[in-house]
Amino acid sequence: MTSPLKRPLLLSAFLGLAGCATTVDGPAQAIPGPPALNDSNVFCEASRTELVIPVGEAFAEGTLVRDFYTGNTARVRDGQVTMTPDDNAEGLLLLEPVDETAHAFTWAGATVYFAVTDRFANGRTDNDINYGRQKDGKDEIGTFHGGDFAGLTQKLDYLADLGVDALWITPPFEQMHGWVGGGDRGDFRHYGYHGYYALDFTVPDANFGTREEFRTLVQQAHQRGIRVVMDVVMNHPGYSSLQDMQTFDFGALHSGFEKHLPEHWGDWRPESWENHHAYHALIDYDHADWRNWWGKDWVRAGIADYDTPHSASVDPVRGSLAFLPDFKTESTKPVKLPVFLRNKESSRAEHLDNATVREYLITWLTDWVREFGVDGFRVDTAKHVEPDAWRELKARAQEALDDYRERHPDAALPSEEFWMVAEVFPHSVRKTSYFDAGFDAVINFDLQAEAKAGARCLQAMEPIYREYADKLHGDDPFNVLSYISSHDTKLFAQIAGDDNTLKKRAAAALLFTPGAVQLFYGDESGRAFGPTGSDPHQGTRSAMNWQAIEAGEVSDILNHWRTLGQFRQRHPAIGAGEHKLISQQPYVFSRQHGDDTVVIAFGSRN
């Protein structure tokens, strides 16, 4: 990868080309670099006038091409076409042959939509409160908002209109029933609304919906050609909480401290001088009854007779993340089903003969594939579990998908090969050992910063696009999943501030990126950062802005994302193809993958 320190040095050479028609015939290394990524003064005003677009060798002489944005056509003469961008296209022309045929899907060019189930769409209000959970009556930073499988199902046509190939949903498992203190200051109640605090991996959380509603979601998605990628966690379960201690009879309070708690322990409130972390002082973490929780053979938790883990920063595989219990996935010791799961009537967990922790977890996770036909896993905290576990998970998941396909021969099933993508912070566009551990792709954390300049002036993406395409589709191909917004970093809307033009233009910077790309729910509609308390990530998970969408307040942004998303879906070459720069002003490049070829042009007036 080009050093970030070198890129800004190319700024003056790049900007010197503005306003002149420059076709690139020379080698790739002669292409100028982008503006400095943090230069807020670099902004290209989009052209709305007629443009002469060279098409290089992408389209043969005489080919009739269409601008997907407007539907207007032109014939290639002397290696170029003359067309005018739509007034709403931000200077873009999306050129494809008029006699275009359908092109086969490939994950190398996929568009993945990531929705935090609880925050996306509330399809049923009667399941909003379960297990004694409560709203906080304030900012609702870490409470359940009501989003569910039914809501996701109702919005599948919305996703199809965006050109989405796959829907990535947060873990659907039953979460810890209670809450823990949120943020460094314990200034809010933090429930497992996001799905990463699992209590029981074998059943869906009642707030998200029922098994049949999950089945309907997957089936309806498949009927629209949308794959379902399920977020999974093998590194840790959820925390313990007062509410779960009382419900499932594990752990213990210090003797006599029950008097400091209400009848329902989960209703506890801190005094005016306390915060939401203060309840820990009531709990006897050395009590023998912690054996009724996961048990020392299952997790490292540093309580009672459990092993005490190092921090994950010291031991990435056997350490603890954010004080969460760490599953002993590396252990070869057979374990019994945890006591609380044995006694939990609603659990589908069963005893497995001579099974290790890893074997239990893999069985539980792949059962969702075997029963519902899930197409892929997004794997949370991949670097904190040994690679052999991921290889085994991938193999078992493929077996489960094959089994599902065999049992449902007439169903709409878009996937034959199970897909797995790893979250490895802060991975970039490079092929690493994770691809030998069963992963088909790794999340790329670099694009978020790089796309800011591209939203201001698409030409800034040229060296990035070239670098990504050369690496991903070279002699040793691999794939990454790139994003501009994330639940664990920031929203692009935060980067853009109040500038709706940047929120709109970010579509091109992201959707023209080589490899697979991820939309975070609301990227396409300018969803705003929400209340966050002392945890800066909570605000990235604000409620989807359906009211603004339905009122037409963000139609200009949304319609632009839809058009570009549909164009990308029609042409896997955009993500999977060879990238060639044709012209620098106007900025024109082609992508080609097999018989699929497109030319994308961006005209600016400066």
User: What positions carry a catalytic annotation?
Assistant: 380, 423
CA distances from 161 to 39, 105, 302 (A): 34, 17, 49
SS (H, E, C) 533-582: CCCCCHHHHCCCCHHHHHCCCCHHHHHHHHHHHHHHHHCCHHHHCEEEEE
Categorise residue 310: left if φ over 0, alpha if ψ from -120 to 50, beta otherwise.
beta
CA distances from 410 to 156, 349, 414 (A): 21, 30, 12
What's the CA gap between 162 and 566, in Å, rounded? 6
Other beta carbons within 10 Å of 49: 9
What's the CA gap between 544 and 256, in Å, rounded? 45
What's the CA gap between 84 and 52, in Å, rounded? 9
Q: Closest Cα to residue 209, out of 174, 179, 244, 177? A: 174
SS (H, E, C) 313-334: CCCCCCCECCCCCEECCCCCCC
CA distances from 538 to 140, 482, 532 (A): 10, 21, 5
What's the CA gap between 287 and 305, in Å, rounded? 9
What's the CA gap between 27 and 470, in Å, rounded? 14
Tokens of 292: 């009724």
Q: Collapse the DSSP code of 102 into the 3-class scheme (helix H, G, I; strand E, B; otherwise coil) and give the result.
A: coil
What's the CA gap between 433 and 478, in Å, rounded? 12
DSSP character for 469?
A: H
